[in-house]
């Protein structure tokens, strides 16, 4: 059974129209991550939550926000999507930060911006 | 900054060995990982190696690490059609709130 579930798998939005992607986990992991992956590019970390503590990467645009209302759920909000935000968005979890750790990934949400 | 480089494509005949290479720049990398992504699925951890090791073997998988050259490789023996996937090299320095840095992934194509 899937342990990290992302919805929707495919999202089409118009330029400037806000979009929310969701991620849920059944692993009870402390850490949840959002990565952006463009075609033939490396997954790029946008931010992560360690429990309720939000950690933004320095180069993540202000257009991207995140919420983690409880342990199981984490949301990625894109306030005003531009054409350059079209990508696959990957959610991942890990039990803890630091050390050797396994990231558990969802199947991703592919965002298209028209 | 940290960077992880790998070639984008590799074609191998079924039954042969596949060798996927990766180089990284961060000399403080402590853990080096290989993730596999099958079509339509999320990335899944295959194996990892600690930087004080130079080899790790797990069934058909062999990981070799040359720390001096910052070079990591993944060898898949007796490559099967089910090995067709994208393989991502990744590294982290293992400290408190470190991040895992991924390469662009190598797409492994199996020839009949």
Query: A34-50: per-residue pLDDT in tens?
Result: 999 998 889 999 999 99
Write b or e for each residue in A13-35: b if 16 or more Cβ atoms lie within 10 A of its Cβ, otherwise e: beeeeebebbbbbeeebbbbbbb
Best A2, A43, A53 residue to mutate vs chain B (most B CBs within 10 Å): A43
- For residue B50, list chain A residues with Cβ-Cβ distance below 8 A: 100
CB-based contact A98 B40, cutoff 8 Å = no
Q: DSSP string spanning B7-76?
A: -SEEEEETTS-EEEEEEE--TT--EEEEEEE-TTS-EEEEEEEETT-SEEEETTEEEEEETTTTEEEEEE
Best A58, A90, A103 residue to mutate vs chain B (most B CBs within 10 Å): A103
CB-based contact B42 A99, cutoff 8 Å = no
- What 3-state DSSP class applies to A24? strand
Q: Which one-letter DSSP state was computed for residue A8?
A: -
Q: Closest Cα partner for A85 from A3, A12, A9?
A: A12
pLDDT in tens, B10-25: 999 999 999 999 999 8
Pick from A26-30, A75-79, B11-15, B94-98: least confident: B94-98
Tell which wins on pLDDT, B94 or A62.
Answer: A62
Q: Is A103 on the interface with B (CB under 8 A)?
A: yes
Choose the closest CB to B99 out of A41, A45, A106.
Answer: A45
pLDDT computed for residue A89 by the predictor: 97
pLDDT computed for residue A2 by the predictor: 72
pLDDT computed for residue A39 by the predictor: 87
pLDDT in tens, B24-64: 988 888 899 999 999 888 899 999 999 889 999 999 999 99
pLDDT computed for residue B49 by the predictor: 94
Q: Is B112 on the interface with A (CB under 8 A)?
A: no
Residue B89: how many other CB atoms lie within 10 Å: 26
Q: Taking all residues of chain B, what is their mean pLDDT, rounded to a whole number?
A: 92
């Amino acid at each position: 059974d899937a342990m990290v579930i992302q919805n929707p798998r495919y999202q089409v939005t118009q330029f400037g129209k806000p979009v929310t992607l969701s991620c849920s986990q059944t692993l009870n992991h402390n850490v949840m991550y959002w990565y952006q992956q463009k075609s033939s590019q490396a997954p790029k970390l946008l931010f992560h939550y360690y429990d309720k503590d939000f950690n933004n990467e320095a180069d993540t645009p202000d257009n991207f926000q995140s919420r983690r209302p409880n342990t199981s759920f984490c949301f990625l909000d894109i306030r005003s999507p531009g054409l350059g935000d079209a990508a696959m968005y990957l959610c991942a979890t890990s039990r803890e930060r630091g050390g050797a750790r396994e990231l558990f990934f969802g199947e991703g949400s592919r965002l298209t911006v028209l | 900054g940290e960077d992880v480089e790998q070639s984008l494509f590799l074609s191998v005949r079924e039954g042969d060995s596949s060798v996927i290479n990766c180089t990284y720049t961060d000399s403080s990398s402590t853990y080096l990982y290989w993730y596999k992504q099958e079509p339509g699925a999320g990335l899944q951890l295959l194996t990892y190696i600690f930087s004080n090791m130079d080899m790790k073997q797990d069934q058909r998988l062999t990981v070799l690490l040359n720390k001096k050259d910052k070079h990591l490789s993944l060898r898949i023996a007796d490559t099967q059609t089910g090995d067709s996937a994208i393989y991502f090299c990744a590294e982290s320095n293992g400290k408190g709130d470190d991040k895992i840095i991924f390469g662009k992934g190598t797409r492994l194509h199996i020839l009949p």
